Amino acid sequence: HGNCTNFIAKQIIEAVWSALAQTAPKDVPAGWGSINYWVFSGLDPRRGEGYGTPDFLGCSSGAGAIWGTDGWPTNGPQICSGTLYYPEIEVAESIYPIIWEKWQWATDSGAPGRWRGGCGVDNIWVADCDPQPIHLAYAAEPFDYEVVPAIAGGKVPKPNSKKLIFANGNEEPPEAVRQKMLYQLQSGDKSIDYVMGGAGVGNPLERDIEAVREDVRDGLVSVESARDDYGVVIDPQTLEVDERETNKLRDKL
């Protein structure tokens, strides 16, 4: 473990958790989300100074739930131990020639469960580097990486994704990004990143109905996921629960 403090340590931790979950499911966390970030570098044209850093805002994956408690949002992977500090976006923009369009909890990123996984984020930024390019290197898990364990009927989160939209209108989809991994961006080029949440614990159909409604109200769970994953029917206009239809749907599912 001491010699692999980055991604391999995560796999080791989850292998141990998966084994322990078979005998002590109430005492083991569900899997935490995997980070999804670029390392970017270049010459800042505003100051004529070089820079190079991981995009720590892309490390903001969600923690897995544990019996009795939802996972924490934007917790980072296990190797961060819940202590990852994210830069203030305004400060990051003053240091790097990048403008953030969005960094917010991603709807439906926390995997369903009686206790839901913590949310990851939508992380969208645009290069503002003219006339110098931004050099990008992808440094994270494969996009098909599946978090484990999901415990006692909980679900796993949908995987990371990352795509580029260039100022000329061309796009680089996630499968191309994962294969190429190295890019140079010009001003106006955009990175659209989805950072996964954590895994769930327990059958989602047993989640408290009011907790589901609150998640929908807060934008953490969509009306569609509330219905399809949790069996809770919510009016998309009023965000009120239809108790009769909910009871019928949960009995059916």
Q: Is the pTM of this model over 0.95?
A: no
The most confident of the ranges 80-94, 145-159, 192-206 is 192-206
**pLDDT of the residue at 3:** 46
Reduce the DSSP state of residue 198 to 3 states and report it: coil
For the chain, give the mean pLDDT.
93
* pLDDT at 5 (0 to 100): 52
Question: What pLDDT does 4 receive?
Answer: 52
Q: How far apart are CA 98 and CA 17, in angstroms?
A: 38
The 10 Å Cβ neighbour count of residue 213 is: 19
Q: What is the pLDDT of residue 7?
A: 61
Structure confidence by residue, pLDDT tens digits, 11-35: 889 999 999 999 999 999 999 999 8
- Give the residue-averaged pLDDT of 47-69: 94
Rounded mean pLDDT of 221-240? 98
H/E/C letters for each residue in 43-110? EECCCCEEEEEECHHHHCCCCCCECCECCCCCCCCHHHCCCCCCCCHHHHHHHCCEEEEEEEECCCCC
What is the rounded CA–CA span in Å between residue 99 and residue 220? Answer: 25
| pLDDT score at 238 | 97
